[in-house]
Amino acid sequence: MIIANTKISIVIPALNESAHLPATLTIIKKLFGNCDAVIVADNGSTDNTPGIANNFGARVTIHPGVSIGELRNQGAMLSDAEVLVFIDADVHLDSSWPENFEKVVKELTRNPLTIMGSRCRAASQTSFVNRYWYSRLNTEKNKNYINSGHLIVTRELFNKIAGFSSELTTGEDYDFCQRALKVGATLKPAPELIAWHEGYPASLKGFMQREMWHGRNEYKNLSLFLESKVAIISTCHLLIFLLTLITLFFTKSVLIPVIYVLMTAIILIGLTVQKFGFVNIRLFLGSASLYYFYLIARSLAWQFNKNRPTARNRVNT
């Protein structure tokens, strides 16, 4: 695919994605005329994921058991494109995407040490979780990384930092962006570049499992823990909660839980405003309540040993 005189490839990691991949590729074909620029990096699917990709004209490379980062790397190695677009198999590009993408390509041509993309929006907003958390992620105030479910980077920068980490089982996008920043790159989110995520969990249980999964690597060693503000804050909250229970047990004072509620409210207000800003009280309260469960999930991430809690459970991840 050539856009703005620049060769483009779209890399999609996949494992047993027969339920999602057809719609994703159908949209790409509709927007660009074909799927010749698409590379599906398969993680050893036992369903017809590779066959579906082949039927759409996409190239397929199969690597059972590797990490998600290495899967993306292998897909990128199959192409000599100057700009690489990484999306997930259940991410649908909006009809406005091609027009805005051309502007992004021109920006990357001018400034190759730049990472662009945007947070995927929730395709459905019927659930409380989607409405007050996932549908608001694209308006985040603190943007210290770009999610690899919709990340765009030049080949020059990708090669400069040797791609994604092949060791990490989650958080590889955060690591990718932080290593890029260390070599002089800049992050430039493009919220006008709209993509829709079909795979966000709709239940509170699914929300917490997803955050426990994403926080696992932050507890692997002290260095990773100290580098993560989320891990530190969520662990401090857990310690405050446990201290509250212990103190309440010995003192029986009703003042203790009141103090805990006030301290937690202050923390949640600060975090919610920092993440989403303040639009109205309804949105604020909904997001703040979910932030409480987010902190609980992240503080318990160290003991989460299940597979990825989505349709994209990957071998050894």
CA 213 to chain CA centroid, Å, is 12
Tell me the three state secondary structure of residue 236: helix
Q: What angle do CA 237, 238, 240 make, to 5 degrees?
A: 65
Residues 6+ apart with CB under 8 A from 241: 260
CA–CA dist 118, 192 (Å, integer):
8
Element (H, E) at 53: helix 49-55
- Ranges of residues in the chain whose predicted pLDDT is under 50: 310-317
Q: Which residues pair with 196 in a beta bridge?
A: 92, 121
pLDDT of residue 135: 84
pLDDT of residue 142: 61
pLDDT of residue 163: 96
pLDDT of residue 89: 94
pLDDT of residue 305: 66
pLDDT of residue 267: 94
CA–CA dist 82, 72 (Å, integer):
16
Tell me the three state secondary structure of residue 18: coil
Give tens-digit pLDDT for 181-207: 999 999 999 989 999 988 888 899 999
pLDDT of residue 241: 93
CA–CA dist 269, 256 (Å, integer):
20
CA–CA dist 135, 141 (Å, integer):
14
Radius of gyration of the chain (CA): 21
The tokens describing 248, both together, are: 């309440």
119: DSSP letter: P
Q: What is the DSSP string of 203-214?
A: SHHHHHHHHHHH
CA–CA dist 40, 19 (Å, integer):
15
What's at 198, amino acid-wise? Answer: E
Q: What's the whole-model pTM score?
A: 0.82
Give tens-digit pLDDT for 255-273: 999 999 999 999 999 999 9
Tell me the three state secondary structure of residue 292: helix
Q: Are strands 6-14 and 83-87 parallel, antiparallel or unpaired?
A: parallel
Output the CATH code of domain 2-201: 3.90.550.10
pLDDT of residue 315: 33
Residues of the chain with CATH 3.90.550.10: 2-201
Q: Which residues pair with 62 in a beta bridge?
A: 42
pLDDT of residue 281: 94
